[in-house]
Amino acid sequence: MEQKSYFFVVLSTLIAICLPLTAVAVAQQTPDLEIATATICREVVDREPVDPGTSFEPSVGKLYCFTHVTGAQGATEIYHVWYFAESERAVVTLQVKTASWRTYSSKIIQPHEIGDWRVDILGLEGDVLKVVHFEIKPQGEVAPPAE
């Protein structure tokens, strides 16, 4: 009989621990999450993208994926997955803390990485919220950024 009561104590303890964790996980799922803006840019200043574009020269050094997320019902996360051709190069976890949240990740671009790139913006469950395509063109083939 003592063994059964021990089992029920352990079971009730697990339930007491797991139910709040389940509630947190459900609260983090945000089906209304939308990407209001997503762009590749040379810099982010004062939470705004600077020199956005779709083509960049190989000497750019570093690029940013700026993302404005709307619709979050509480704190959650999104992911930026950077690809060169079809090769995954980086996965960055980004916090979303309010219903309207601006965030970004960056990637160093090596001079030899000429070609097609993309950033998949994923929700908490891995759902694709947006895909941003850009390319690195050989030196001299990219128009200078608009002023």
How far is 91 from 70, CA to CA, in rounded Å?
A: 21
2-28: buried (b, 16+ CB within 10 Å) or exposed (e) per residue? eeeeeeeeeeeeeeeeeeeeeeeeeeb
Which of 118, 132, 104 minimizes the C-alpha distance to 45? 104
Residue 140: predicted pLDDT: 72
90-145 residue pLDDT tens: 999 999 999 999 999 999 999 999 999 999 999 999 999 999 999 999 977 666 65
- If one compares 29 and 35, the residue with the highest pLDDT of the two is 35
Structural domain count, the chain: 2
Enclosing H/E stretch for 128: strand 128-136
4-17 residue pLDDT tens: 555 445 445 545 55
46-105 residue pLDDT tens: 999 999 999 999 999 999 999 999 999 999 999 999 999 999 999 999 999 999 999 999
Is 53 inside a domain boundary?
yes
Q: Which domain holds residue 25?
A: 1-30
Is 45 inside a domain boundary?
yes
Is 145 inside a domain boundary?
no
Structure tokens at 138: 């050989």
Domain shared by 18 and 61, yes or no: no
Which of 103, 42, 43, 40 minimizes the C-alpha distance to 69? 103
CA atoms within 13 A on the CB side of 36: 10
Is 21 inside a domain boundary?
yes
3-state secondary structure of 40: strand
Residue 12: predicted pLDDT: 53
Enclosing H/E stretch for 27: helix 2-28
Q: Are 78 and 124 in contact (CB under 8 A)?
A: yes
